[in-house]
Amino acid sequence: MSATLHRREVVAELLAERGELLVVAGLGSTAWDCTAAGDDDLTFPLWGAMGQAAMMGLGLALAQPQRRVLVVTGDGEMLMGLSSLATIGVQRPANLSIVVIDNGRYGETGMQETHTAHGVDLAAIARAAGFADARTVRAAGELGALRAAIHAHPGPNFASVKVRVEKLPIILPPRDGGLLKARFRRALLGASADLQ
Amino acid sequence: MNAPQAVGVDWPLEVHGALRGAGITIVSYVPDAGHKRLIELCHADPAMRCVPLTTEEEGLGLATGAWLGGERSVLLMQSSGVGNVINVLGTIKECRIPLPMIITMRGEYGEFNPWQIPMGQATPAVLEAMDVIVQPALEAKAVAPAVDAALRLAFNGYAAVAVLISQRVIGIKSFQEQAAQ
């Protein structure tokens, strides 16, 4: 069954009227997707640390239990950090959601197939690891419910959203790691964060 | 001299106090026999959230997220785990994330397992190659002061700092001794 959803439309819908949502964007295509939806001080787009997006989400969720935290990452990035799903399953942060934009490809390196293109089921793995909600999304009609879950459903929540293989314009966020960190902390914690 | 925590210095208790004093609220770890008591002390502390990891690099992701959210964390691991964190140390440096690591050494001094020796011997060089500040603690009474200094360096300097606790301090000399921990 080939995917029909467009990744930019999916991410734009999930981040629409995001309110106080804190976002970690995995390196590569998902960072460009989140930037295309609107660069935001409360998005931390990654340019490296492949495999660590979910763990950054966990750290943020534990530090900010009153805020909702969303990790948007790719299937290749999630596969590299697969065991972090087990670590998150032990901590069970109710405010954390992980959405994998799953095109079954390594998009930045020549569109080679990832393991999900061969049937590896990320949602089943997340469910087995103890996520409260783990689903695979294939239709546009399911995105509203996923967005609602990200904002309100007791987590940890996981979704693999199957999207088309597409070559899209690269929309770059700032790339200075110190700047991205500082702007996020200032927006979240106030100017006093600069003095911590 | 061979017994753990010899010479009457309860370094895990002192280190736990240093972590409390520095406002550490999140403690992540991959277990090591040398960290057994410190891990237990942190788990028993209601002010600390303990996060067992499946692999050490998860601790760097966790520390980054925690710092973005305004909390201070520390990572406990064994020297063999240093090889697992190299690439993510690049992100820690680029983003200037405070990252105190407390590392118990294997393959360093009187090691009984030859498979531990290559990574143990390479540990300081590997860390320094990634610009981590390395502070050895060669005896029990030196551990807590080294941790206290490392916490200051990490959070005042937005830096990655590793305290390497020598096998002289841990004192485990055989599989049997390790299993009896």
Which amino acid appears at position A12 of this protein? A
Is B85 at the interface with chain A, CB within 8 A?
A: no
Helix axes A84-91, A122-129, angle to 10 degrees: 40
The mean per-residue pLDDT over the stretch B145-155 comes to 98
- pLDDT exceeds cutoff 80 at B175: no
- pLDDT exceeds cutoff 90 at A125: yes
Closest CA to A131 of A68, A99, A88: A88
CA distances for B18 relative to A99, B12, B22, B84, angstroms: 38, 10, 6, 26
Residue A60 has its nearest CB partner, among B51, B65, B87, at: B65
Which chain A positions have a beta carbon within 8 Å of B98's beta carbon? none
Tell me how far apart the alpha carbons of residues B28 and B10 are, in angstroms, rounded to a whole number. Answer: 21
**Number of Cβ pairs < 8 A linking chain A and chain B:** 123
| Token pair for A108 | 């930045």
Tell me how far apart the alpha carbons of residues A96 and A39 are, in angstroms, rounded to a whole number. Answer: 21
CA distances for A104 relative to A11, A76, A77, A113, B44, angstroms: 17, 8, 11, 6, 43
- For B65-123, what is each residue's pLDDT tens digit? 999 999 999 999 999 999 999 999 999 999 999 999 999 999 999 999 999 999 999 99
- pLDDT exceeds cutoff 50 at B2: no
- Respond yes or no on whether the N-terminal peptide bond of residue A156 is cis (omega within 30° of 0): yes
- For A139-165, what is each residue's pLDDT tens digit? 999 999 999 999 999 999 999 999 999
Q: What is the pLDDT of residue A6?
A: 98
Pick among A50, A60, A83, A180 to test the B interface (most B CBs inside 10 A): A60
Is A42 at the interface with chain B, CB within 8 A?
A: no
Pick the more confident residue, A100 or B171.
Answer: A100
H/E element, B101: strand B99-104
The mean per-residue pLDDT over the stretch A16-44 comes to 98
Tell me how far apart the alpha carbons of residues B120 and B28 are, in angstroms, rounded to a whole number. Answer: 21
Q: What is the pLDDT of residue B54?
A: 98
Three-state DSSP at B104 gives: strand
- For B25-74, what is each residue's pLDDT tens digit? 999 999 999 999 999 999 999 999 999 999 999 999 999 999 999 999 99
Mean pLDDT for all residues in chain A: 97
DSSP assignment of B44-77 = T-TT-EEEE-SSTHHHHHHHHHHHHTT-EEEEEE
* 3-state secondary structure string across A103-166: CCEECCCCCEECHHHHCCCHHHHHHHHCCCEEEEECCHHHHHHHHHHHHHCCCCEEEEEEECCC
The Cα angle at residue B53 between residues B5 and A105, in degrees rounded to 5: 155
Domain extents in chain A = 7-195
Could you give the ipTM of this predicted complex?
0.97
Q: In chain A, what percentage of residues exceed pLDDT 70?
A: 99
- For A56-102, what is each residue's pLDDT tens digit? 999 999 999 999 999 999 999 999 999 999 999 999 999 999 999 99
Which chain B positions have a beta carbon within 8 Å of A24's beta carbon? 65
* Cross-chain Cβ contact A55/B62 below 8 Å: yes
Q: Give me the phi and psi of B72, to 5 degrees please.
A: -100, 135
Pairing of strands A105-106, A112-113: antiparallel
Which amino acid appears at position A196 of this protein? Q
Q: What is the pLDDT of residue B5?
A: 47
Is B118 at the interface with chain A, CB within 8 A?
A: no
CATH class of residue range A7-195: alpha beta
Is A70 at the interface with chain B, CB within 8 A?
A: no
Which chain A positions have a beta carbon within 8 Å of B22's beta carbon? none
Q: What is the pLDDT of residue B179?
A: 73
Q: What is the pLDDT of residue B8?
A: 79
Rg (CA), chain B: 15
Tell me how far apart the alpha carbons of residues A121 and A114 are, in angstroms, rounded to a whole number. Answer: 12
Q: What confidence category does residue B4 fall into, taking pLDDT thresholds of 50, 70 and 90?
A: low
- pLDDT exceeds cutoff 60 at B3: no
Pick among B64, B72, B130 to test the A interface (most A CBs inside 10 A): B64
* Burial (Cβ within 10 Å: 0-12, 13-18, ≥19) of residue B135: middle
Which chain B positions have a beta carbon within 8 Å of A181's beta carbon? 67-68, 95-97
- pLDDT exceeds cutoff 50 at B18: yes
Q: What is the pLDDT of residue B7?
A: 54
* Cross-chain Cβ contact A51/B57 below 8 Å: yes
Three-state DSSP at A171 gives: coil
- pLDDT exceeds cutoff 80 at A16: yes
Helices (H) and strands (E) in chain A, counts: 8, 8
Query: CA of A176, closest CA in chain B: separation in Å?
Result: 8
Pick among B49, B58, B151 to test the A interface (most A CBs inside 10 A): B58
Residue B70 has its nearest CB partner, among A57, A63, A90, at: A63
* Cross-chain Cβ contact A56/B62 below 8 Å: yes
What is the strand order of the sheet A43-45 is part of?
A43-45, A22-25, A69-74, A96-102, A157-162, A133-137
